[in-house]
A and B are shown apart, each in its own frame.
Chain A
Amino acid sequence: MSTTDAGRAGPAGPTEPVKPAADQVPDRIHAIPVRYPGRWISGAVVVVIAAMAVHGLVTNEKFAWGTVADYLFSTPVLRGVVWTLWLTVAAMAIAIVLSVLLAIMRGSANPVMRWVSWAYIWIFRGTPIYTQLVFWGLISVLYPRLSLGIPFGPELLDFTTKDLVTASRAAIIGLALNEAAYLAEIVRAGLQSVDPGQSEAARALGMKNTRIMGRIVLPQAMRVIVPPTGNETISMLKTTSLVLAVPFTLDLQFATNAVANRIFQPIPLLMVAAIWYLAITSVLMVGQHFLERYYGKGFDVHHAPGGGDGGRRRAARRRARQAAINAAGTTAEPGPLTEVTP
Chain B
Amino acid sequence: MSAGVRDETPMVEVVDLHKEFGDAHVLRGVDLTVPTGSVCVVLGPSGSGKSTALRCINQLESITAGRIYVDGELMGFREGTHRGAPALFALHPREIARQRTKIGMVFQRFNLFPHMTALGNVVEAQVQVLGRSKSAARARAVELLERVGLTDHRDHYPAQLSGGQQQRVAIARALAMDPELMLFDEPTSALDPELVGEVLAVMRSLAETGMTMIVVTHEIGFAREVADQVVFMADGVVVEQGLPEQVLTSPREARTQDFLARVL
Contacts and interface: CB of A to CB of B under 8 A. Distances in A.
B97 A203 contact: yes
Nearest to B99: A206
A201, A220, A297: residue with the most chain B Cβ atoms closer than 10 Å: A201
B155 A305 contact: yes
Contacts of A306: 155
Interface of B: 58, 60, 93-94, 97-98, 100-101, 103-105, 107, 109, 111-117, 124-125, 128-129, 155-160, 170, 173-174, 177
Given A197-B109, A204-B174, A220-B113, 11 more contacts: A197-B107, A205-B174, A205-B177, A207-B97, A208-B97, A209-B93, A219-B115, A297-B115, A297-B157, A298-B117, A301-B159
A300 interface: yes
Contacts of B103: 204
A216 B159 CA distance: 16
A205 B58 CA distance: 10
Contacts, number: 86
29 contacts: A195-B111, A198-B113, A200-B60, A200-B111, A201-B107, A201-B112, A202-B125, A204-B60, A204-B174, A205-B125, A205-B177, A206-B97, A206-B101, A206-B129, A206-B177, A207-B128, A207-B129, A208-B93, A215-B124, A216-B113, A219-B115, A220-B113, A220-B115, A297-B157, A298-B115, A298-B117, A298-B158, A299-B115, A305-B117
A220 B157 CA distance: 14
B21 to A, nearest CB: 15
Contacts of A204: 58, 60, 100, 103-105, 107, 174
A306 B152 CA distance: 12
A200 B107 contact: yes
Q: Contact residue range for chain A?
A: 20 to 34
Nearest to A220: B115
Interface of A: 195, 197-198, 200-209, 211, 215-216, 219-220, 295, 297-301, 303, 305-306
A253 to B, nearest CB: 40
A106 to B, nearest CB: 18
Contacts of B128: 207, 211, 215
A7 to B, nearest CB: 23
A220 B160 CA distance: 17
A206 B113 contact: no
